[in-house]
Amino acid sequence: MRRPVLTARARIAVAFGAVFAVLGTGLLVTVNVLSRVGTQERATRIARTVVPAEARPPYETVTVTTLHRLSGDVSAAASHELITWSAVALLVTALLALGVGWWTAGLFLRPVQGAFDSQRRFIANASHELRTPLATQRAAIQIGLEGHPSPEDLARTKATLLQTNRHSERLIDGLLLLARSERGLDSREPFDLAEVVDAEVHSLAASARREGVRIRLDAAASPLTGNRLLLAQLTGNLLRNAVGYNHPGGSVDVRVRSGRLTVVNTGPVVPAADVGTLFEPFRRGAGRERLGGGAGLGLSIVRSIARAHGGTAKAAPRPGGGLRVVVELPTGRSRRPWPRPAIRGTRP
């Protein structure tokens, strides 16, 4: 029969209660021994005070003996009561300590247990995402190249293999970038967030134009110190999501102010209950991302990069559909002159 295994929380609570019981027992034993000795000495002193030795006639010897015996009995009774109630108090307090240990262990272990669960989900999802393109490639090779494939079959197989290979590259790049941002920043440099956002908007303009999505940019000078490449990746992820999870004729409003980047896009309705999960790895929002697909790492990378810079990334549903994402970053001084002209424009 398999022995039950205690959880980490239960082991900590038991250890907490056991340590308290041992220390409490030692304390009470010491107090009881010292109390008994002190009570005995004080009772003897009182008995001698009641009947002084020089005033004792021979016939009072019995009375003195009786007083000594009575004082001993009183001392023993007091010690017995003290031991009894001390044991009861120790038991009750040990049970309370066990409960406090259980509560404290849960309080401190909750983030750790959550981190382990998140890590297990991440590993499982990453394994699944990496296995899927491999299975697709194997199927394309087995089916497309079976027998004597025609030129059309070869072209179709080649296109499938290239597409799955690009997906695998994007996934691996995303995982490496996520691991890099989780590690923190190795170095910092001064730059203007407005320039970074303007460059990313410009690089995505052609893709947004093909999808029929209009990007509006309103950027004021925002000096920061950090990793320019990582924040460019953060901005690019937000913009690609905003354009990808959109609809023809939709819009993306990008606003940059001191230490704040806001991206608001139209698109499918996002339930408020699902917003928090969008920042978890491999979580994809409702709607089809139309810019080549994705692995569901976009917003998790955004949050990780923001945290690496000491900032935050939050999202909220947009009334009527779409999403509003706000990235807050700590501002810093730059060696460049400020302020600079604001950047405003509409693309396409």
pLDDT tens, residue by residue, 93-142: 778 878 877 888 777 777 667 556 656 665 665 665 667 677 777 787 77
Q: List C-alpha distances in Å: 108 to 8, 17, 95, 113.
A: 11, 17, 20, 9
The SS3 call for residue 149 is coil
Higher pLDDT, 70 or 150: 150
Higher pLDDT, 130 or 206: 206
pLDDT recorded at residue 58? 53
Amino acid at 142: Q
pLDDT tier, 288 (very low <50, low <70, confident <90, very high otherwise): very low
Neighbouring C-beta atoms of residue 201, cutoff 10 Å: 22
Domain ranges of the chain: 8-116, 118-183, 189-347
Q: With a cut of 50, say whether residue 334 has pLDDT above it.
A: no
Q: How many CA atoms lie within 13 A of 225 on its CB side?
A: 9
Higher pLDDT, 22 or 167: 22
Q: How many CA atoms lie within 13 A of 331 on its CB side?
A: 12
Q: With a cut of 70, say whether residue 73 has pLDDT above it.
A: no
pLDDT recorded at residue 145? 76
pLDDT tier, 290 (very low <50, low <70, confident <90, very high otherwise): very low
Q: Tell if the pTM clears 0.85, that is, is over it.
A: no
Higher pLDDT, 242 or 120: 242
Least confident of 41-50, 97-106, 300-309: 41-50
CATH, domain 189-347, list 3.30.565.10, 3.30.300.130, 3.40.50.880, 2.40.160.10: 3.30.565.10
Least confident of 34-38, 51-55, 98-102: 51-55
pLDDT recorded at residue 167? 67
Amino acid at 49: T
pLDDT tier, 296 (very low <50, low <70, confident <90, very high otherwise): low
Q: Find all residues with CB under 8 Å of 178, minimum gap 6, and list them.
A: 281, 297, 300, 301, 304
Neighbouring C-beta atoms of residue 252, cutoff 10 Å: 25
pLDDT tier, 215 (very low <50, low <70, confident <90, very high otherwise): very high
DSSP 206-222: HHHHHHT-EEEEEE---
**If we measure between CA atoms, which residue out of 265, 255, 262 comes closest to residue 342?**
255
Per-residue pLDDT tens over the stretch 148-163: 778 887 888 888 888 7
Q: With a cut of 80, say whether residue 186 has pLDDT above it.
A: no
pLDDT tier, 85 (very low <50, low <70, confident <90, very high otherwise): confident
Q: What are the tokens at 52? A: 């002084």
The backbone region for 267, taken as left when phi is positive above 0, alpha when psi lies in -120 to 50, beta otherwise, is left
Higher pLDDT, 3 or 179: 179
Per-residue pLDDT, averaged over 242-253, amounts to 91
pLDDT recorded at residue 284? 59
Same CATH topology for 118-183 and 189-347? no
Q: What are the tokens at 59? A: 């016939």
pLDDT recorded at residue 316? 93
Distance of CA 308 to the CA centre of its chain: 14
pLDDT recorded at residue 103? 82
pLDDT tier, 274 (very low <50, low <70, confident <90, very high otherwise): confident
pLDDT recorded at residue 292? 46
Higher pLDDT, 51 or 202: 202
Q: List C-alpha distances in Å: 182 to 127, 176, 189, 205.
A: 19, 10, 19, 29
Higher pLDDT, 171 or 148: 148
pLDDT tier, 219 (very low <50, low <70, confident <90, very high otherwise): very high
CATH topology of domain 118-183: Helix Hairpins (1.10.287)
Question: How does 166-200 read in b/e, with b if 16+ C-beta sit within 10 Å?
Answer: ebbeebeebbebbebbeeebeeeeebbbbbbbbeb
Contact 287, 206 (CB under 8 A): no
Q: With a cut of 50, say whether residue 214 has pLDDT above it.
A: yes
